Homo-oligomer: A and B are copies of this chain.
Amino acid sequence: MKYGHFDDARREYVITNPQTPYPWINYLGNEDFFSLISNTAGGYSFYRDAKFRRLTRYRYNNVPVDDGGRYFYISDGDALWSPGWKPVKSDLDEYECRHGMGYTRFNSVKNDLRARILYMVPLGEKAEVQKLSLTNEGQSKKSVKLFSLAEWCLWNAEDDMNNLQRNLSTGEVEIEDGVIYHKTEYKERRNHYAFYSVNEKIQGFDTDRESFLGLYNGFQEPRRVREGTPGNSVAHGWSPIASHFLELELKPGETRELVFVLGYVELPEEEKWESKGIINKKPAKEIIGRYRNASDVDRAFDDLKSYWDDLLSRFVLDSGDEKLDRMVNIWNQYQNMVTFNMSRSASGFETGIGRGMGFRDSNQDLIGFVHMAPQRSRQRILDIAATQLPDGSAYHQYQPLTKRGNDAIGGNFNDDPVWLILSTVTYIKETGDFSILDEQVPFDNDESKALPLFDHLSASFTHVVNNLGPHGLPLIGRADWNDCLNLNCFSSDPNESFQTTENQAGGTAESLMIAGLFVLYGREYIRLARHLGKHELADEAGVHVDAMEASVIEHGWDGDWYLRAYDHYGKPVGSDQNEEGKIFIESQGFCTMAEIGKEQGYPRKALDAVKERLDTPYGMVILNPAFTRYYIEYGEISTYPAGYKENAGIFCHNNPWVMIGETRIGRGDRAFEYYGKIAPAYLEEISELHRVEPYVYCQMIAGKDAYKPGEGKNSWLTGTAAWNYYAITQWILGIRPDYDGLIIQPVVPAEWKGFSLRRRFRGTDVEIEVIQTGGGTVTAHLRRWCLKCLGKGEK
C-alpha cells in the first residue's frame, strides 16, 4: 500500500493520505536555522544546536505520536480543521503534503475552502517562513477564523523536559504589533530571543498554553478555537506559546495570502534592550520586513530552488529506471546533505539532545556529499582530525559547538582512526586538492601539537599497527562499527552503557572487520604516499598491510567465510563453530572490498555464504543465526531481541559494503539486486510494512528472525545514505573519481542496455554515455562496455 507518490519533476514526495504508517518528515534549513516537519505539520525548530537552542517544544514518543508542531486552526462556519489534518484530525475533502528540497507544502480543502501552506527556511535566514493562502472556492462569502500555534521550548531541550520546578516559573513574552516575542531568560544570561509574526493586523492572540488550550485539552481541541475567541493571554511562567488570531472575510473566488515568520535573534550584550525590560526588536523587524508579502516569499522560494538545482546538477543519472534515477538524482543526495547538516543529532528517532558528532560517522558521511559541498567537507575533515589524539586514537564523538573531543563518551573504538583515511582520500580524489594534506592540524585540539594532516593519516595507520593482538589482527578495543560487539565490556549492570563502561583490562579481542578496513584503506594510504613521492614510507606501510592480509588468510578464514573477531578468550566470533552468530556481514564486506585471499577465491566464497545465510527479501541481515540469549562476552549485540538492530537486523549501512564486494568480483546483477532491496524508492509499494519514509533510507529494517521482517526504523540520519550513494555511483554505475581523473568502470546487471549521466568533476560537467554491448559476467568489466565520454577528465 502506498500513501502518496513521487513527483520527480518537482523533486517532491507527495503524501495524499495523512495517516502514514509513521510520521513522514522533512527538514527545512541549510545553515544555522533548522526545522523538522512531518506530513501533518508536527515537529520543531532550532538554531544550530537541537539541544541548546531549541526554539519550539516537541515531545518524542508521544501519545498521539508526533503531537506538537506549528499548527493552523481554521474555523469556517461549523467546520473546524487543520490544513495538515492534525491536530484537529477532521476529515478533509482534499489533503496533500509535498516534501521537497528544504521545504514542505500542504494543499487541503474543506467545505470549499482551500488552504495552501508553504513552510521553508529561506537561504541565509534565521527563520522559518510560512506562507498560508486561503481561497474561497465556494459560491458564498466566508467568514473564517484562523488561529496559529507554536509552543515555545525554553531553549535547552534537555533542561526543558526535566527542570520543571524552575522552568514553570521562568516563561516571559512580549507582544507588539501582532508579533509574539519569546524572551524567557533573556533578562539574564541569554542574548537571544525568538518571535512569531504575521504580516496582517491580528484580532487577538494567546501566549499562555493553558489559556489557549485549556488545561485538560489536547492540541486537537483548543478551548479558544472551540469558543472562536482568543484569550489575549500574556504568559507568566508555565508554558509560553504563540498563537495569532485573525478574522478573514473571503468573497467567492477570493484568495488571501498571509506570511508568518518564526525567527531567532541574537544580540550583543550592549544592544539587548530597547528600554528597561523591553527587548530590542530591531533585528526581528528586519527579518520580518524581508517577508512583507507573498511575493517576497516566492522570491525566497525561487532562490532555495536554485540552490538545490545547483547542488543536484552535479550528478544526474538517466538510467531508464525511474526509481533508480530518483534515488541517485534526488533523494539519496538530499539525505546525504541532511545527514551532513544534522550530524545525526535530530530526527524522528534522535531527540536532538544526546549526540555529538561521531568520529567514525562523520568521516563516512563525508563520502556522500563531498561532490556537493567540497569546501564544507574540507573544513569537516580538519575539524575531525583536530580531535584525534597523538597516538592516532580518537575520541568517539566530539561536540559540534566546541569542536572538542567528548570526554564523557571516551575513545578506544579501534576502527575510528582508519576512517579518516577514507574521508581524506575521497576528498582529494573528488577535488584534486592535495593542499589539505599540508594543513597544520592539532592533536586533541592542542595547537602546540599541530602537524600536517598527512601525519594524522600516518597516525591512524600506525595506531592499527601498534595495536595488534595475538593473531596479528587488530585489537578491537571498546568496539568497532557499529558499537555493539563489545568484546571487552563484560557488563552485568543494566544501567551501564556499553559505550562508556570500564573495559576489562588486558583485552586481546581482535576484529576481522578492522583488519579488512586496514587492508583496504591502508592500501589507499600507501597509494597516497606514493602519489606524494613518499616511497620509503609507502614501502614500509606495505609490509604491514601485507602482513595483515597474511594474518587474515591464516587466522581469519573460517572455511567458507571470514571470521568476525576473536573474543576476549581468543575464541572465534562469527564461525561455523559457534552456536549462534556463525557469520557476520561486516568482515565479509570489508575483506571482500579489500579482496583479501583473492587467489584462494575467498571473496567469492564469502559472498556466496552471505547470499545463502544473510540475504532476505528485505536486505542482508547483520549476522546469522540471531542470538537468543545474552552473551556477556559479546555485549550489546546480544541484548536485542532476535532480528532487531545489531542482533540480526538489516543494517542499511553495511549492505553497500557487500554490494561493493560483489562489484569487485564482477557480479553486477547481484550488487544491484542488493541495492534495490533496501533503496527506499523501491519499497514504496510496501510502505505499510516498511513504515518509515519511502524517500529516505532508514538505519535498520527488521530481519528475518523479527516479528515483522521488513519493518523499518530510525530513518534519515545514518551513514547508510552516504554508503549507498557511494556504492551505486562509484561501484555499480562505476563512475569513480581518482587522483588523476574519473574512472569509469560500471558493474551493472546484465540486462541493462546502458545509461547516461552528467557529472561535475573539478568544475567541469562530464557527460557520459554507457552502452552495454553484451557478453557474460567477466571480471574485466571495461571490455563489456562501449564508452562514449564527452567532456574532460575521463580516464
Contact = CB atoms under 8 A, between A and B. Distances in A.
Contacts of A213: 63-64
B155 A494 contact: yes
Interface residues of A, number: 75
A65 B494 contact: no
A187 B354 contact: no
A86 interface: yes
A251 interface: no
Contact of A89 (B216, B277, B351, B638): B216
Given A63-B67, A169-B641, A169-B713, A22 B215 contact: yes
Nearest to A51: B495
Nearest to A492: B189
Interface stretch (A119-127, A159-167, A534-542, A719-727): A159-167
Which of the listed residues A67, A151, A189 has the most CB atoms from chain B within 10 Å of its own CB?
Answer: A189
Contacts of A354: 162-163
A474 B347 CA distance: 51
A21 B215 contact: yes
Contacts of A145: none
Interface stretch (A54-62, A448-456, A570-578): A54-62
A312 interface: no
A584 to B, nearest CB: 19
Contacts of A706: 236
Given A19-B216, A64-B216, A699 B165 contact: yes
Which of the listed residues A59, A277, A353, A493 has the most CB atoms from chain B within 10 Å of its own CB?
Answer: A59
Given A19-B215, A63-B68, A495-B156, A170 B209 contact: no
Interface stretch (A217-225, A358-366, A736-744, A771-779): A217-225
A190 interface: yes
A496 to B, nearest CB: 8
A630 B189 contact: yes
A276 interface: yes
How many copies altogether?
A: 2
A165 B361 CA distance: 16
A644 B65 contact: no
Contacts of A236: 641, 644, 706-708
Interface in A133-162: 151, 155-156, 161-162
A68 B67 CA distance: 15
A708 B211 CA distance: 14
A640 B277 CA distance: 13
A216 B708 contact: no
A237 interface: yes
Given A63-B218, A640-B169, A164 B351 contact: yes
Contacts of A63: 59, 67-68, 151, 209, 213, 218-219
B65 A164 contact: no
A493 B234 CA distance: 27
25 contacts: A19-B215, A52-B495, A59-B59, A60-B162, A64-B216, A155-B494, A156-B495, A161-B161, A162-B351, A163-B354, A164-B350, A169-B640, A169-B645, A172-B641, A185-B494, A187-B629, A189-B492, A189-B630, A190-B494, A218-B218, A236-B641, A236-B707, A236-B708, A237-B707, A276-B628
**Sorted from nearest, which 9 A-B pairs have the closest CB atoms?**
A236-B707, A188-B630, A169-B644, A189-B494, A188-B639, A190-B494, A165-B714, A169-B645, A64-B218
Given A60-B164, A276-B628, 5 more contacts: A61-B168, A65-B215, A164-B351, A187-B641, A189-B493
